[in-house]
Amino acid sequence: MKFLRLITRNVARNKRRTVLTVLSVSVSVFLLATMQAVIASLGSISQLTGGEYRVVVRRNTSIADSMPEAYREKIEQVPGVVAAYPSNWFGGIYKEDKPQYTFAQFYVDTKSLFDVQFELQISPEEKAAFQQERTAAVVGKKLADKYGWKLGDVIELKGAIYPLDPRLTIRGIYTGPQESVFYFHREYVEEAFGRPGRVGQYRVRLDSPASAARVMEEIDSMFKNSAAPTKTETEAAFAAGFISMLGNVKGLISGIGLVVVFTITLIGANTMAMSARERFTEVAVMKALGFRPSMILTLMLSEAVLIALLGGVLAAIAAKVIFQFVGLGDVLALFLQNFKISTGTIALALGASALIGLVSGGIPAWNASRIKIVDGLRRVA
Question: CB-wise, 229 or 293, nearer to another protein?
Answer: 293
Contact status, residue 87 vs residue 198, Cβ threshold 8 Å = no
Question: CB-wise, 6 or 347, nearer to another protein?
Answer: 6
Question: CB-wise, 127 or 287, nearer to another protein?
Answer: 287
Contact status, residue 30 vs residue 193, Cβ threshold 8 Å = no
Question: CB-wise, 256 or 380, nearer to another protein?
Answer: 380
Question: CB-wise, 11 or 316, nearer to another protein?
Answer: 11
Within positions 4 to 33, which residues make up the interface with another protein, using CB under 8 A?
5-6, 9-10, 12-13
Among 293, 322, 331, 358, which residue interacts with another protein (rule: CB under 8 A)? Answer: 293
CB 34, min distance to another protein, A: 35
Where does this chain touch another protein (CB under 8 A) — which range of 188-196, 234-242, 262-270, 283-291?
283-291
Question: CB-wise, 272 or 356, nearer to another protein?
Answer: 272
DSSP 102: -
Listed in sequence order, the DSSP H helices in the chain are: 4-11, 15-45, 71-76, 110-116, 124-132, 141-147, 186-192, 212-222, 235-244, 249-278, 280-289, 293-320, 343-369, 373-380
Measure CA 288 to chain center.
54
C-alpha–C-alpha distance, residues 112 and 205, integer Å: 10
Distance (Å) of CA 233 to CA 51, 115, 220, 323: 11, 19, 10, 33
Residue 287 sits in the site that holds another protein (CB under 8 A): yes
Where does this chain touch another protein (CB under 8 A) — which range of 2-10, 19-27, 40-48, 324-332?
2-10
Residue 381 sits in the site that holds another protein (CB under 8 A): yes
Ramachandran angles phi, psi of 231, nearest 5°: -130, 115
Name the residue among 280, 257, 318, 234 with its Cα closest to residue 23. 318
∠ at Cα 170 (166, 176), nearest 5°? 120
Contact status, residue 150 vs residue 171, Cβ threshold 8 Å = no
3-state secondary structure of 219: helix
Helix orientation angle between 293-320 and 280-289, rounded to the nearest 10 degrees: 130
CB 305, min distance to another protein, A: 18
CB 377, min distance to another protein, A: 7
Among 16, 148, 163, 289, which residue interacts with another protein (rule: CB under 8 A)? Answer: 289
Q: Phi/psi zone of residue 57: left (φ > 0), alpha (ψ -120 to 50 degrees), beta?
A: beta
Helix orientation angle between 293-320 and 343-369, rounded to the nearest 10 degrees: 150
Helix orientation angle between 235-244 and 15-45, rounded to the nearest 10 degrees: 130
C-alpha–C-alpha distance, residues 138 and 170, integer Å: 6
Residue 281 sits in the site that holds another protein (CB under 8 A): yes
CB 302, min distance to another protein, A: 14
Within positions 236 to 275, which residues make up the interface with another protein, using CB under 8 A?
none
Residue 290 sits in the site that holds another protein (CB under 8 A): yes
Helix orientation angle between 15-45 and 343-369, rounded to the nearest 10 degrees: 140
Where does this chain touch another protein (CB under 8 A) — which range of 108-116, 118-126, 280-288, 343-351?
280-288
CB 2, min distance to another protein, A: 5
∠ at Cα 122 (117, 127), nearest 5°? 90
Residue 167 sits in the site that holds another protein (CB under 8 A): no
CB 178, min distance to another protein, A: 55
Question: CB-wise, 10 or 271, nearer to another protein?
Answer: 10
Within positions 357 to 376, which residues make up the interface with another protein, using CB under 8 A?
373-374
Question: CB-wise, 245 or 381, nearer to another protein?
Answer: 381
CB 13, min distance to another protein, A: 5
CB 41, min distance to another protein, A: 44
Binders of another protein: how many residues, by CB under 8 A?
A: 24
Question: CB-wise, 317 or 373, nearer to another protein?
Answer: 373
Question: Where does this chain bind another protein (CB under 8 A)?
Answer: 2-3, 5-6, 9-10, 12-13, 281-282, 285-293, 373-374, 377, 380-381
